[in-house]
Amino acid sequence: MVQNQETLQYSVAKILVEERRDLLAHLEAEAAIHKELESPRILKLETFQEALTLVDSEGNQLTTTGILMELAPKGDLFDLLSIFNQLPYILARSYARQMAEAVAYLHQKGIAHQDIKLENFLLDSKFNIKLADFGFSRMTNKEQTSTEQVGTPQYWSPEQHEQTPFNGTEVDVFNLGVAIFLLVAGKMPFEQATKDDEFYVHFINGEEEKFWQMHEEEMSPSSGRSFFKDDFRTLMNGMLRYKASERMTIKEVVAQPWLNVTSEMMDKCGGIVAEFLKKKGVSN
């Protein structure tokens, strides 16, 4: 975090350390994509400077290349989930909707994020979502594929694990499905999306009901009631498909009934979170 000495405004800085000047082109590419984005669901890029001057508390001066971004002061969704352990249903749905809107905006602009995970969904002062970190993002289209191993392995799609050509937007949808499941259940849907995983193998075999039976036994072993609602299962089944060509597009994801959340419901999220943190004695 850095402070502008003229405006006194705080920002977040992503800087290039001298030992890694080889990453200059990578940082420039990230800034080039980020500067094209302007949405309430996207962390704002304030500036990219090849000669950014920073001064520490002792007056030492450093000139480097860096990106300055708006500050999201309430942390990220992973940290929030860690405090709640399991989000209340209204919060999970509302945040999932905001997450999907952020990814939909990127795909509409022809951009694949390629590192969708809870840690990259930051929270602004009102606990609304801001998608961040475009270091792996690329311009893409429906036909374009890549084999570059980027992103976070726990969220990887099957084609990434198999090291076969993948489309960035199809991977984003899969990654987002994993993130939404984690948000709702408080745990990952599987360890990795491979045939060796005891949960994901059922997606590969086209036996999704067995996947849900296993999770229901863990989530509600004695209640007799299903933890996962039918419309949520439909959403996950469409996002976590083994065959990328059969996955929902982000446009189809946003149109799913489970994500039909009103703006009034989303507006209540900040107050619910703030009140919960206050009761927990957590500074916000």
Q: Is 197 a catalytic residue?
A: no
The beta-carbon contacts of 256-259 under 8 Å, at least 24 apart in sequence, are 256/231, 257/231, 258/93, 258/96, 258/229, 258/231, 258/232, 258/234, 259/93, 259/96, 259/97, 259/100, 259/235
The count of other CB atoms within 10 Å of the CB of residue 271 is 11
Instruction: Choose among 13, 45, 42: nearest CA to 32.
Output: 45
Please identify which of the residues 76, 115, 133, 172 carries the catalytic annotation.
115
- Name the CA dihedral angle for 164, 166, 170, 175, rounded to a multiple of 10 degrees: 60
Give the β-pairing of 10-15 and 2-3.
Answer: antiparallel
Any idea which residues carry the catalytic annotation?
115
